[in-house]
Amino acid sequence: AMRQRGQACEASRPGAPHPQQAADDEDTKKSSVGGPPSSRPSGHVGRGEKLGEVCRRFLLSPHFKGLILCVVGVVPIFGMMMFLPQAFEKFGVVGLRQVPYYLVAAWLTIQFLYNFASAQFTDPGGCLHVKPTFEATGQFEMVFGNDPGTPAATQVGSSDPLVYAPNWCDHCKHWKPPRSHHCSFCRRCVLRMDHHCPFTGNCIGFRNHGHFILMYAFAFLGLLY
């Protein structure tokens, strides 16, 4: 009792630090000398997190995509400008007989680079504005067909529509359409997401999946040629 009374008198003296303030000062001293503070301030971002965010933005930027496109484009152009003349000389192809080979090589190169750039810069498709048929429950109707007038499928032995199971994204805070997934790198949901390709710097989804397949097809044909 005497000790508590003495502490109360000490705290009530003018200029005496408040007990909570003394605890905060002690935490500050610990953090300054390397000791862990009692609690990490909310909203504090470490140096590693800042560096990771800068790298993520750079890998998604048009500058990185253009750099990769230039590096990739060197390979077919080098093969067409340097390897073909040596092959012609070795096999005795001279004059106008070289024209068809150059045309095929140029066509394969253009197709490969066009589809590669399209896979890079085409938006794969977002889910933000795609609303479910039954928005209260997040269920989409299942429709077999591409025509706008195609009726929705019905359940067996019932006239009720056949619907997909609802799928909620905790990150984007909206209902996800069927076959869509959340990309942790792009930080959004993508329609018919296949994967995030770091080589193209873009997600492969609904709108650029065809370009991605053609890119590999023409790359394979160019290597065979």
**In angstroms, rounded to a whole number, what is the distance separating the alpha carbons of residues 162 and 179?**
16
- Count of positions (residues) in the chain: 225
The DSSP secondary-structure symbol of 196 reads E
Residue of 9, 189, 197, 203 marked catalytic: 197
The SS3 call for residue 60 is: helix
- A 10 A CB-CB count for 85 gives 13
Specify whether the backbone of 105 is left (phi greater than 0), alpha (psi in -120 to 50) or beta. alpha
**In angstroms, rounded to a whole number, what is the distance separating the alpha carbons of residues 18 and 21?**
5
Whether 189 is catalytic is no
Catalytic residues, by residue number, are: 197
